[in-house]
Amino acid sequence: MSEGNQLTAFSGIPFSPAALAKPKREDKGYAPRLQLVSTGSSGLVEKGVSVGNYGLVDGDNVSDLGDSLTIIPLVRLDKAVDFSDSEEVVSAFGEDNPEFQRIKGEVDENGYDSGCMYGPLFLAFLVETCQFVELFLNNKSGRNVADDFNPFLPIGKEVAESLNVEPRAPQPVQLTSVLLPRKPSKKTRHKWHAIEVAAHEGPLNVAEPPSQEALQKACDNFVKQSIVEDEDRDR
């Protein structure tokens, strides 16, 4: 990656900490979802993705990508989602957003039975398929490794100056999965796989690198979901 591809630091994402919760919109063209199938209870198992493997969900299309792949992380947002109301899905961004904290509290107190989830949301370039994807680390094991991505995120010139560090391009990450040992106190029918994060080793062969224009557009579109527009504030 060239210096021109240095986009946004994880510490300088351009969204307002005061962003309000808003209904999820389906017409903004977000990137496909990358998801580790952690247990046999995942709905992706019925769609052909093996437990312990990564699935790529693009609309109705689901692909099994295996248990190891390479991504280039680009942007991080902190997201909370409330699915408890069947009429309206509510999303909130930023840990100092009161609505984010409300949703987080529901998860921490009542688990996923609350209909809520939260965690870091990453935009990344998936090397194997040469496309942009979203990775939402919305369970406990995912949140535990979220900061492992930080050293691989880009730092742009302005943010680098504010932090007194050198700008850097995004760095490739190798994602694998690990089978976690069961806790004696937990009774579960399923084994649990978690994400492992490591630096990609060896040459990086990207068949179709994105253009600077495509890269910037993908990042702008990703960040857009965290910005509350005027009509949302009037709800």
pLDDT tens-digit map of 102-147: 999 999 888 777 889 999 999 999 999 999 999 999 999 999 999 9
pLDDT of residue 235: 43
pLDDT of residue 175: 97
Q: Find the length of the chain.
A: 235
Mean pLDDT by 10 residues, the chain (235 residues): 35 42 53 87 80 90 92 93 85 90 91 87 93 94 93 83 83 92 58 91 86 85 78 44
44 touches 52 (CB < 8 A): no
Q: Which residues pair with 157 in a beta bridge?
A: none
pLDDT of residue 232: 47
Q: CA 56 to CA 24: how far, in whole Å?
A: 21
> What percent of the chain is helix, strand and coil (3-state, nearest 5)?
25, 30, 45
pLDDT of residue 184: 55
11 touches 159 (CB < 8 A): yes
pLDDT of residue 23: 54
